Amino acid sequence: MSRTLTLLPTVAATLVASVFYAGVASAQLPEHLRNFPLASRRASGDAIAPMFNGWVDNGDGTVRLIYGFANKNSEQVLDVPLGPNNYIEPAEYDGVQPTHFPSYTRRGFVGIQERGIFAITVPADVAAKGVTWHLSANGYTYSAPGKSGSVAYQMSDIGGALGSTNPAIRFKQSGPESVTREGIYADRVMAKVGKPVTLSAQIEDRGPTRAKYYENKVMQYQLGSAWILHQGPAVPEFSQAEITGKERVEETGEQGSSGWSEVSTEATFSTPGDYVIRLRVDNFESDDSQFDNQCCWSNAYVPVTVTE
């Protein structure tokens, strides 16, 4: 049975009028006032805003500072190399930030943001003073100072209300594991222009297990994963750039997973240079996990050198 939402004439007229007059009002504003948050989003020529997402007390005298960004352009994808237009202070923490800034149109309050793309662990006294990410593009310059101390920005690794936690990522069976935004780095991969190279990792849901009524098995949620250009001169072609947990359920025919599983993609690079590919793994299939509230996903990074 289909459902049709019908607006009363007065409501419909009000909505149309609101949209019309909002557009007219924006057009009549002086140029310097059109960049306010409520102004219409421009297709190109607008800023990229570096963002401080929050901080975590690691409990050992160090603090983890988490960053993201918002590309205010609805269509323009920007690349800003590391250097005077894209740097972190103090300089000893510079170099982990992205250089590639896609445009996002997700729904919700944080729809245009890409959150938790990297994190930095610093001594508590450094976190109290602040670590600042500076970013300039399209003639706009913004700075995002990451500091500890504000309760409003404090986060934790406890997880979701029902017990979901960040998934684990590892590149080797006996190697280190990532369960944070800061992530781990794989060994450098060597590739040739135009020749596919396999990028792979092992992933595992660390949230609460659940019993499958149809087989009475204890299993974890199927995880989503995405391979994302973090740094590099050109976007590579991925055989499978992203798959959601729901799509993995449909692909495997299994509602859940048990233990570690492998995720991989074939990456083909068109331009030589040094790259970093970010692997984001999530358990957004869980009811207490979603991107908007920073629960629950983890990062890992693959450095790649591409030659002719």
CATH of the domain at 176: 2.60.40.10
Residue 263 lies in a domain: yes
Instruction: Identify whether residues 215 and 243 lie together within a single domain.
Output: yes
Q: Residue 18: its pLDDT value, please?
A: 36
Instruction: Identify whether residues 54 and 181 lie together within a single domain.
Output: no
Instruction: Identify whether residues 101 and 31 lie together within a single domain.
Output: no
Residue 3 lies in a domain: no
Instruction: Identify whether residues 32 and 76 lie together within a single domain.
Output: no
Range of the domain at 28: 10-37
Instruction: Identify whether residues 79 and 56 lie together within a single domain.
Output: yes
Cβ(165)–Cβ(159) below 8 Å: yes
Q: What is the pLDDT of residues 279-304, one digit of tens each?
A: 999 999 888 888 877 789 999 999 99
Residue 127's nearest CA partner among 63, 58, 181 is 63
Q: The whole model's pTM is what?
A: 0.85
Q: What is the pLDDT of residues 110-157, one digit of tens each?
A: 789 999 999 999 999 999 999 999 999 999 999 999 999 999 999 988
Cβ(128)–Cβ(147) below 8 Å: yes
Q: What is the count of structural domains for the chain?
A: 3
CATH of the domain at 59: 2.60.40
Instruction: Identify whether residues 178 and 79 lie together within a single domain.
Output: no
- Measured CA to CA in angstroms, residue 11 lies from 8, 14, 20, 75, 217 at distances of 5, 5, 14, 31, 51
Residue 4 lies in a domain: no
Instruction: Identify whether residues 113 and 230 lie together within a single domain.
Output: no
Instruction: Identify whether residues 209 and 271 lie together within a single domain.
Output: yes
Residue 106 lies in a domain: yes
Rounded CA separation 160/296 (Å):
7
Instruction: Identify whether residues 180 and 79 lie together within a single domain.
Output: no
Residue 297 lies in a domain: yes
Q: What is the pLDDT of residues 86-106, one digit of tens each?
A: 999 999 999 999 999 999 988
Instruction: Identify whether residues 184 and 294 lie together within a single domain.
Output: yes
Residue 199 lies in a domain: yes
Q: What is the pLDDT of residues 23-43, one digit of tens each?
A: 434 445 566 555 555 567 899
